[in-house]
Amino acid sequence: MSYTIELGTKAPGFSLLATDGRNYSLNDFKNAKILVVFFTCNHCPYVIGSDEVTRETADNFKDKGVAFVGINSNSVETKALDSYDFMVKRMEEKRFPWVYLRDENQEIAKAYGALKTPHFFIFNEDRELIYTGRGLDNPKNPEDASINDLQNALEEAVTGKQITTPVTNPLGCNIKWNGKDKYWMPAEACDLVPRS
């Protein structure tokens, strides 16, 4: 069994605190035709670099039944900027079009097998995984990006087509794990697509 959930897997459940002070679960998004769950944070240059492209994608698809949920699982021991208070502040400043959740004990990152920030997971109406991996092929410098895999997958998903490229390697900073070195990754974590 792979570390990251595989295509066809049902979305792992969650109940997490959002920056608006409410707790959210999968059921809160039951009316969404497509659900994008992505692991993100406050400080990572790959997240900061690509957030506006992610915003644009979320805005493009909101009227097509697509909901976005951002989850921050990073340890505040490693990066104080990833605290809940900074999440609230960032959402107040940026007003991103997604719910932003705090995974304090990192159980949800483990359940999904999140590798990086950002790492995207797209689920169909039955909440089966149909895409996992990166958003852009150059999230740190989006002006140099040539492929938007997230946008491409969503365009196919909302029209009921098979996803042409359903798995890519997420590009970004690794998840910061509690009690571990900032570069530590679980031993079973690995690339989703073998690198040539």
Q: Among residues of the chain, what percentage have pLDDT more than 70?
A: 99
Strands 66-72 and 34-40: parallel
Do the domain assignments include residue 139? yes
pLDDT tens-digit readout, 89-126: 999 999 999 999 999 999 999 999 999 999 999 999 99
How far apart CA 188 and CA 175 sit, in angstroms, is 14
How many domains does the chain fold into?
1
The whole-angstrom distance between residue 106's C-alpha and the CA centroid of its chain comes to: 14
Asked if the structure places residue 1 within a domain, the reply is no
Q: What is the CATH number of the domain that holds 18?
A: 3.40.30.10
Question: What confidence tens digit (pLDDT) does each residue in 35-64 have?
Answer: 999 999 999 999 999 999 999 999 999 999
> How are beta strands 129-133 and 119-123 bridged, if at all?
antiparallel
CB atoms within 10 A of CB 130: 19
In a domain, 100, yes or no: yes
Provide the pLDDT for residue 63.
Answer: 97
The whole domain housing 162 covers: 9-174
CA–CA separation, 58 and 97 (whole Å): 7
- Rounded to 10 deg, the angle between the 149-158 and 45-61 helix axes is 20
d(CA 116, CA 134): 9
Whether 90 maps to a domain, the answer reads yes
In a domain, residue 193? The reply is no
Q: Is residue 194 part of a domain?
A: no
pTM: 0.97
- Calpha distance 37→68 (Å, rounded): 6
Q: Is residue 152 part of a domain?
A: yes
